[in-house]
């Protein structure tokens, strides 16, 4: 049944699809704001990876652990 769910249909992306979506969003923002001081797609990925690791460290202090769900949320809502 999962493959018929909204979550599966709207939130499951391949690595290539995510890269394409991020690149498109970055390019549109830069063009719309006519800015040269924006982060590149690679720089955005580095910032997000940093905060993923910070969140992982933070979540490991909780019982029961909530790391996996927190990382899933940050990936879904901050990446897109």
Please name which of 48, 44, 57, 53 lies closest in space to residue 75, comparing C-alpha atoms.
48
| pLDDT confidence of residue 1 | 74
- Exposed/middle/buried for residue 2 (C-beta within 10 Å: 0-12, 13-18, 19+): exposed
Supply the pTM of this predicted model.
0.65
| pLDDT confidence of residue 53 | 87
Where does the pLDDT of residue 28 fall: very low under 50, low under 70, confident under 90, or very high at 90 and above? very high
Q: Which residue has the higher pLDDT, 50 or 12?
A: 50
Say yes or no to pLDDT of 80 above 60. no
d(CA 26, CA 32): 10
Residues 6+ apart with CB under 8 A from 8: 2
| pLDDT confidence of residue 71 | 72
Q: CA 32 from chain center: how many Å?
A: 21
Say yes or no to pLDDT of 77 above 80. no
């Amino acid at each position: 049944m999962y493959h018929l769910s909204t979550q599966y249909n709207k939130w499951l992306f391949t690595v290539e699809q995510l890269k394409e979506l991020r690149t498109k969003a970055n390019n549109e923002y830069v063009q719309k704001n006519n800015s040269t001081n924006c982060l590149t797609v690679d720089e955005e990925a580095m910032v997000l990876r940093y905060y993923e690791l910070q969140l992982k460290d933070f979540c490991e202090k909780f019982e029961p652990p909530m790391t996996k769900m927190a990382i899933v949320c940050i990936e879904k809502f901050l990446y897109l």
